[in-house]
Amino acid sequence: MGLAVLGGTFDPVHFGHLRSAVEVRQALGVERVKLIPVGIPAHRERPGSQPEQRLEMLRRGT
């Protein structure tokens, strides 16, 4: 049992994000992986979508 957390802009969420979560889960042997959209990324411009919209995209994608 365990939990891993992956952060990112997820703008938009795509198969690569979901595949990464599956691979992290398998590699670490954790039960769950949480994908958390960041508000303002440090390394790039603001996302076009609001955090709430990106969170909803993640909910629908998973």
* Tens-place pLDDT, residues 11-32: 888 999 999 999 999 999 999 9
Rounded to two decimals, the pTM is 0.76
Q: Does 61 score more than 90 pLDDT?
A: no
Residue 2 has pLDDT above 80, yes or no: yes
Say what the pLDDT of residue 27 is: 97
User: pLDDT tens, 38-58?
Assistant: 877 777 777 778 888 888 888
| DSSP string of 10-62, one letter each residue | -TT--HHHHHHHHHHHHHHT-SEEEEEE-SS-SSSPPPSS-HHHHHHHHHHH-
Spans of all domains in the chain? 3-61
pLDDT at 44: 76
Distance CA 22, CA 25 (A): 5
